[in-house]
Chains A and B, each alone.
Chain A
């Protein structure tokens, strides 16, 4: 038959009032589980990137895309190689030119021009062979140069074997020499 409701409630209450034995290692197990769980939304960007790098991925590429990527890589490599090539030294373009003057009565002759800052002390000419022959050798890069011979520190002479400088501004004669090449 049916028990009275109060008895049933009394039995349940007694059951619930009993002391429960808890495993002493439970706390440790729970904490280990919690530590092992991933941090929700808290992974750093570096950690995510590291994780992405360690996971295998599948890359899908169309043939056209592959060609474009290869072309881009080739351009980068070529640009790098172009930048790393050292420029050719300008000295390599210079050529030696010999200047000659016949001046039998001169005691000192200097070659003076755009190539030595018009400094009469920089390029003294040497008397060679014949007593009347004065020579000097100067390396010149491509360009157009005005020059003259300064004789005995008093007279200016143009080079009789070279064109006369038409754009002479100072009255004293000058010659011009053009060295080809370059751009």
Chain B
């Protein structure tokens, strides 16, 4: 009986493993746009990310961006590898439950200079999705705001404001910078204004008194 089961089950298991591996190794057809020398390396990076349960779509898009912009194969491979590493670090900081959008935004924030500790603090601070706070953090740093100032402001706001208010905060900072304000000062002023707006909104929601 045991021998019969073994004789049946082992080939079946082997076939399943081979089929599963073949399926996993199927190259994304969109990567056909890469040159023949670059494609296998990028496909291997994508497969590795998939095995590590990281989102693969950002990696594919980064490679396609390089192909469309006629970047060299080496540049494309380096960009995809760097993004994969950043996504892994973002996942370490944000936790295994982080969505693909959060990981992508987290990778951008890390690349901008935010520390993994800041990402972890944001996770503890905010119950809602972290995509927008992380993106605003990355965008502020890209606008010239020092990482510490941007992180402090976003951390202070993230617990209490909605995505739309974070976007408005970022626009206010960029507007003030464009008008000549020092980035750190513009960030502090916009954060204070956003905080005032949030408090005013909270007061308005209270029931009126006679």
Contacts and interface: CB of A to CB of B under 8 A. Distances in A.
Interface of A: 112, 114, 117-120, 142-144, 146, 156, 163-167, 169-172, 174, 176, 178-183
Contact of B104 (A120, A143, A163): A143
Contact of A163 (B69, B82, B99, B142): B142
23 contacts: A112-B68, A114-B58, A114-B65, A117-B64, A118-B65, A119-B64, A142-B131, A143-B104, A144-B108, A165-B142, A166-B108, A166-B141, A167-B111, A169-B65, A170-B66, A170-B69, A174-B65, A176-B139, A178-B132, A178-B167, A180-B167, A181-B163, A182-B129
A170 B75 contact: yes
Given A144-B135, A169-B82, 11 more contacts: A114-B58, A142-B101, A143-B100, A144-B101, A169-B62, A176-B135, A178-B131, A178-B136, A179-B131, A180-B131, A180-B167
Given A118-B67, A164-B142, A176-B139, A181 B82 contact: no
Contact of B69 (A114, A156, A167, A176): A156
B105 A178 contact: yes
Interface in B59-108: 61-62, 64-69, 71, 75, 78-79, 82-83, 99-102, 104-105, 107-108
Q: Is the interface of A mostly helix, strand, loop or mixed?
A: loop
A172 B69 CA distance: 7
B108 A171 contact: no
Interface of B: 30, 58, 61-62, 64-69, 71, 75, 78-79, 82-83, 99-102, 104-105, 107-108, 111-112, 128-129, 131-132, 135-136, 138-139, 141-143, 163-164, 166-167, 170, 174
